[in-house]
C-alpha cells in the first residue's frame, strides 16, 4: 500500500491459456514493475483474483509462469512484513458486526483480522482476545476508539497477547509508546494530511487513510483514492492502508497502486 504506481488495464485475447499468459508476460516486460490488471477471458477472472487463490493453494503456481512472481512481489508489501501476513488486506473493525470468528477467519485466510473492543468491559475484552487466539495462530489486531478512555482496555489486550493495535478518533499519542512496549504493532486511522503528520510524529508504525466512503465512524470528507496518495506523501515511508469503500478485488488492486 505504501507505493503508488500507474495501473495498466488491458483485456487478454480470447485464446487458450498458454497464449493468454504469454500476452500477460509481454505486458509485464513492457510495464516493468507496474501493476497490470489483466482479465483472463477463458476463466472470467482478473489476475489479482487468481493470485489470491494461489496464495492459499500454490499447487498451480507453475501454470501462471513468471507473472505470478511479479504479482507475488506486489502482494509482499512492507505492510505484510510488519504485520507478518501473506495478503495485504485488513478487515475493518466494524463494531456490532465483527467479532472473534470474523477476525480469525480473515487472519487464517492470510489477511489481518480486527477485533473491535472499544466499548467492552475489561472482562469481556479479555475474553474476546482469548477467543480469537483460540481460533487462529495468525496475527490479528484489536481496535480502540479514542473517543473513550482506553488505557485499561489497552493493558488488557496487551496482557492477553494481542499482536497489533489500531487506534481511531482523537489523539492516541499517549498510548502509542505503551502499545509498542507491549510488543504490539501500532496503527492509527487518519483522514487528512494533518492527521497523518501528527500520527507519524507520535511514532505509529502504520497509517490507515480512511476516506469518506467508509461505513461507521468517519472523520474526514475526502474520498479514499484522493486521500491515500496525499497521506503516502507525508507518511515518511511508513505503510499506508487504504480504507473506505473497498469491498472487492478491484478496490484492493486500486489501493495497492
Q: Which of 75, 106, 135 lies at the terminal end of a domain, its last residue?
A: 75
Domain that holds residue 63: 7-75
User: Are residues 69 and 105 both part of a single domain?
Assistant: no
- Over residues 80-124, the pLDDT tens digits come to 999 999 888 999 998 878 899 999 999 999 999 999 998 899 999
27 belongs to a structural domain: yes
User: Are residues 153 and 36 both part of a single domain?
Assistant: no
User: Are residues 65 and 108 both part of a single domain?
Assistant: no
The pLDDT value recorded for residue 76 is 76
The pLDDT value recorded for residue 53 is 56
Helices and strands per DSSP (H, E), number in the chain:
11, 9
User: Are residues 155 and 66 both part of a single domain?
Assistant: no
User: Are residues 134 and 227 both part of a single domain?
Assistant: yes
* pLDDT for 12 beyond 50: no
Q: Which of 21, 43, 75 lies at the terminal end of a domain, its last residue?
A: 75
pLDDT, averaged across the chain: 79
Instruction: Choose between 200 and 38: higher pLDDT.
Output: 200
1 belongs to a structural domain: no
User: Are residues 144 and 105 both part of a single domain?
Assistant: yes
2 belongs to a structural domain: no
d(CA 190, CA 150): 18
* pLDDT for 45 beyond 60: no
Give φ, ψ of 177 to 5 degrees.
Answer: -60, -40
The pLDDT value recorded for residue 179 is 97
Instruction: Quote the percentage of the chain above a pLDDT of 90.
Output: 52
User: Are residues 68 and 103 both part of a single domain?
Assistant: no
3-state secondary structure of 210: strand
What residues does 113 pair with on adjacent strands?
140
181 belongs to a structural domain: yes
**CATH code at 166?**
3.20.20.70
The pLDDT value recorded for residue 15 is 36
Element (H, E) at 229: helix 224-234
User: Are residues 154 and 250 both part of a single domain?
Assistant: yes
User: Are residues 130 and 249 both part of a single domain?
Assistant: yes
The pLDDT value recorded for residue 215 is 81
User: Are residues 15 and 132 both part of a single domain?
Assistant: no
User: Are residues 96 and 153 both part of a single domain?
Assistant: yes
Domain count within the chain: 2
Place of cell 479479555: 126
User: How many Cα atoms sit within 13 Å of 158 on the Cβ side?
Assistant: 19
47 belongs to a structural domain: yes
Average the pLDDT over 198-224 and give the result: 90
User: Are residues 140 and 217 both part of a single domain?
Assistant: yes
CB within 8 Å of 147: residues ≥ 6 apart = 169, 170
d(CA 21, CA 170): 49
Distance set, CA 54 to CA 58, 105, 206, 220 (Å): 5, 17, 27, 36
Q: Which of 50, 75, 100 lies at the terminal end of a domain, its last residue?
A: 75
Query: At 25, is the pLDDT very low, low, confident or very high (cuts 50, 70, 90)?
Result: very low
d(CA 238, CA 203): 10
- Over residues 163-210, the pLDDT tens digits come to 999 999 888 888 999 999 999 999 999 999 999 999 999 999 999 999
- Over residues 49-81, the pLDDT tens digits come to 555 555 555 555 555 444 445 555 566 788 999
145 belongs to a structural domain: yes
Average the pLDDT over 228-248 and give the result: 93
Amino acid at each position: 500500500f505504501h507505493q503508488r504506481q500507474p495501473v495498466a488495464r488491458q483485456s487478454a485475447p480470447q485464446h487458450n491459456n498458454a497464449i493468454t499468459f504469454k500476452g500477460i508476460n509481454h505486458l509485464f516486460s513492457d510495464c516493468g514493475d507496474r501493476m497490470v490488471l489483466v482479465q483472463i477471458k477463458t476463466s472470467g477472472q482478473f489476475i489479482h483474483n487468481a493470485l489470491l487463490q494461489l496464495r492459499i493453494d500454490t499447487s498451480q503456481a507453475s501454470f501462471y509462469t513468471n507473472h505470478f512472481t511479479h504479482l507475488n512481489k506486489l502482494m509482499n508489501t512492507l505492510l505484510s512484513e510488519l504485520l507478518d501476513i501473506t495478503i495485504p488486506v485488513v478487515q475493518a473493525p466494524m463494531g456490532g458486526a465483527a467479532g472473534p470468528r470474523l477476525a480469525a477467519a480473515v487472519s487464517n485466510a492470510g489477511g489481518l483480522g480486527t477485533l473491535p473492543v472499544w466499548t467492552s468491559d475489561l472482562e469481556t475484552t479479555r475474553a474476546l482476545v482469548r477467543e480469537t487466539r483460540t481460533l487462529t495462530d495468525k496475527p490479528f489486531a484489536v481496535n480502540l476508539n479514542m473517543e473513550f478512555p482506553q488505557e485499561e482496555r489497552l493493558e488488557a489486550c496487551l496482557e492477553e497477547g494481542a499482536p497489533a493495535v489500531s487506534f481511531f478518533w482523537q489523539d492516541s499519542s499517549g498510548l502509542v509508546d505503551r502499545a509498542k512496549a507491549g510488543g504490539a504493532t501500532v496503527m492509527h486511522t487518519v483522514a487528512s494530511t494533518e492527521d497523518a503528520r501528527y500520527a507519524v510524529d507520535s511514532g505509529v508504525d502504520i497509517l490507515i487513510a480512511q476516506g469518506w466512503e467508509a461505513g461507521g465512524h468517519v472523520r474526514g470528507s475526502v474520498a479514499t483514492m484522493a486521500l491515500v496518495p496525499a497521506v503516502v506523501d507525508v507518511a515518511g515511508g511508513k505503510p499506508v492502508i487504504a480504507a473506505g469503500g473497498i469491498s472487492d478485488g478491484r478496490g484492493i488492486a486500486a489501493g495497492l497502486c
